[in-house]
Amino acid sequence: MAPRPHLLQHYKQKKRGRTDTPFPKGFLWGASTSAHQVEGGTHSQWDVWERANAHKLPRTAKYLLGNLKNWQELQGRAAIPETYICGDAVDHYNRYEDDFKIIKKLNMDAFRFSIEWSRIEPESGKWDMKAIEHYRSYIRKLKSMGITPFVTLWHFTLPEWFAEKGGFARRSNITYFTRYVAKITEELGDDWSFVITVNEPDTYTALSYLRMFWPPQARDFLAARRVYVNLMVAHQQAYAIVKAHNLDIQVGTSVNQSVDKLESQFFTAKMAMWVWQRFAKRWFLDSEKMTADFVGVNFYLTNYFGWAGRWTNPPEPANDLGWYMEPRAIEELLIDIHERYQLPIYITENGLADSHDQYRQWWLQETIVGMRGALGRGVDLRGYMHWSLLDNFEWAFGWLAEFGLVHVDRATMKRTVRPSARWFGGEIKRLRAESRRAGR
C-alpha cells in the first residue's frame, strides 16, 4: 500500500494544475549517474580522501544516521572502513554497454553521466588520450542505441593536482578548469547535444567548505563564498566555450532545489527560509541568466521551517537516509522555477535511498502526478532523469545508501532490475502512447 505523508495538514499547496495533462511529444525519460559513484578505478582527490578517512567515517555515520529506524540494519556495515571506499564502484567503466542495455529495456531514451576530469588530465596539462577515446566510444554507443546523452563536465571530484593548488577556492585556478573544458569540447563536442557544466555547486560548497563532511573538510565562510562565486564564473566560461564550439548544444547546470514551506509565521522562520532560498537555491541560478539554455533541477527535499528557524520536517515517510519525502511537491517547485527563469526545465536528478524498494514506485507515481500538474500549468518541462540508474557510492555515506533503479551486488557485480523500475519502464511506455493519442 502506497504510503502517504501523514501530516497532510502541512501540505498547503497554493498552486495545482490538472493532473491528466499528457507529457509532450519528445519528452525524455531516463536516469542519472556520476563517474566517481559508478565507474570504479578513479584517482581523484576523493579517492585519496576516502583512503585517509575511511577509519573515521564510521563515527560520522553513527552521528548522522544513528537515530534512524533502519540503523539496526545499517550499523554492521556502517562500522567497517571499507564501506567508505569507492574502489571498483560498480565497475560501470567496463560494463557500460550492458548497463545501456538495461536503460533500453526500461524504455528510457536519456542518460546523464559525468566525465571524470582526473582521468582526462591525470597530471596538469597532460591529456590521457585513452580516457578521451573511452568517453568517445561511450557517448557514441549511447547515441547508436537511441539514448540522448546528458554530459556533465564536473560532478564534485577534482584531479589531485588541482586540489593541491587550492581547487575552486582560488580564482586563478579557474583557467585549469576551462583548459579541461576546452580540450574535452574540442575532442568530444561534435557528439553532444546537452551539457551540464557543473553539478550542485550549492551542495559541494556547503558540504566541503562549511559543514566539514566532504574534502577538504573546511569550515571557512570566506572560502565557501569564494568557491561558490568561482563556480559561477567557471560555469559562465564553460558555457562560452561549449557554445563557441556549437551554438546548438544546450548548456546548463544542475542545481539542488527544494520545496520550502513555512510551518510558523514567526519572523525567525521567515528569515531562515529567505536566507536558505536566496543563498542555497537561487543565487547560482540567478547568476546564470545569460548563460543557460535550460534549468537542470535536482529534487529530493521538502523543508518545513519552524519558529526557531530550523527544519521541522515530519519524521515520516522518510527514506533510508532519514530524508523526509514529499515527492508530489515537485509541482510547486517546477511552477516556481518556470515563473522565475522562463527556460525549459529538465529534471536531472530525483530519487530516494530505498534498499528494500518499499517507496520507489510510490515516489515515481507521485512525481509523475506532480509533473503532469506542472505541465497543466504551462511549465516547459522536457525531461525526467531518475537518480540513479544503479546503486552507487553515496559520497561520505559510502555504500550505505541504495538509490538505484537497478540493484548491484558488489561481490559479483550482478545487476538486478528492481520491481519499481520494471513498473517505471512500463509506465514510460504507457505515457508515451498516451501522448501520441493526444497528438502532443
Cell of 55: 577509519
Q: Least distance from C-beta 331 to ligand BGC, angstroms?
A: 20
Binding residue for ligand BGC (CB under 6 A) from 109, 293, 349, 391?
349
402 binds ligand BGC (CB under 6 A): no
Distance separating alpha carbons of residues 215 and 42, to the nearest angstrom: 16
Tell me how far, at minimum, the Cβ of 36 lies from ligand BGC, in Å: 8
Q: Does 93 bind ligand BGC (CB under 6 A)?
A: no
Give yes or no for residue 348 binding ligand BGC (CB under 6 A). no
Q: Which residues contact 411 (CB under 8 A, 6 or more apart)?
A: none
205 is a site residue for ligand BGC (CB under 6 A): no
Q: How many CB atoms lie within 10 A of CB 430?
A: 10
Interatomic CA distance for residues 210 and 49, integer angstroms: 17
56, exposed or middle or buried, with CB in 10 Å at 0-12, 13-18, 19+? exposed
Q: How many residues bind ligand BGC (CB under 6 A)?
A: 10
Nearer to ligand BGC (CB atom), residue 254 or residue 291? 254
CA dist list (Å): 297 to 168, 175, 197, 275: 22, 27, 13, 20
Cα–Cα distance for residue pair 177/127, rounded to 1 Å? 13
Of 22 and 296, CB closest to ligand BGC: 296
Q: Sign of dihedral through CA atoms 61, 62, 68, 74?
A: positive
Closer residue to ligand BGC in complex, CB, 301/417: 301
Residues whose CB falls within 8 Å of the CB of residue 15, separated by 6 or more in sequence, listed in order: 331, 332, 335, 377
Considering the rule CB under 6 A, would residue 387 count as an interface residue with ligand BGC? yes
Residues with Cβ within 8 Å of 6's Cβ and at least 6 positions away in sequence, in order, are: 314, 316, 317
Of 74-82, 114-122, 199-207, 424-432, which part binds ligand BGC (CB under 6 A)? Answer: 199-207
For the chain, how big is the Rg over CA atoms in Å?
Answer: 21
**260 touches ligand BGC (CB under 6 A):** no
Closest CA to 242 of 136, 153, 134: 153
Q: Which of residues 281-340 bind ligand BGC (CB under 6 A)?
A: 298
Q: Which of 256, 302, 303, 350 is in the footprint of ligand BGC by CB under 6 A?
A: 256
Site for ligand BGC in 37-56 (CB under 6 A): 37
Q: Which is nearer to ligand BGC, 96 or 156 (CB)?
A: 156
Each residue 153-172 as x (binds ligand BGC by CB under 6 A) or -, in order, gives --------------------
β pairing state of 148-154 and 110-114: parallel
Give me the least distance between CB of 309 and ligand BGC, in Å please: 23
Q: How far apart are CA 361 and CA 257, in angstroms?
A: 22
203 lines the binding site for ligand BGC (CB under 6 A): yes
Pick between residue 7 and residue 212 the one whose CB is nearest to ligand BGC.
212
Told to check if 34 binds ligand BGC by CB under 6 A, we report yes
Whole-angstrom distance between the N-terminal and C-terminal Cα of the chain?
33
Question: Looking at 52-60, 134-142, 198-206, 417-425, which segment touches ligand BGC (CB under 6 A)?
Answer: 198-206
Applying CB under 6 A, the span of 49-57, 184-192, 197-205, 219-227 interacting with ligand BGC comes to 197-205
Distance, in Å, from the CA atom of 126 to the CA atom of 120, rounded to the nearest integer, reads 8
CB of 348 to ligand BGC, least distance (A): 9
Binding ligand BGC (rule: CB under 6 A), the pick from 114, 199, 205, 361 is: 199
| 394 binds ligand BGC, rule: CB under 6 A | yes
Binding residues vs ligand BGC (CB under 6 A):
34, 37, 199-200, 203, 256, 298, 349, 387, 394
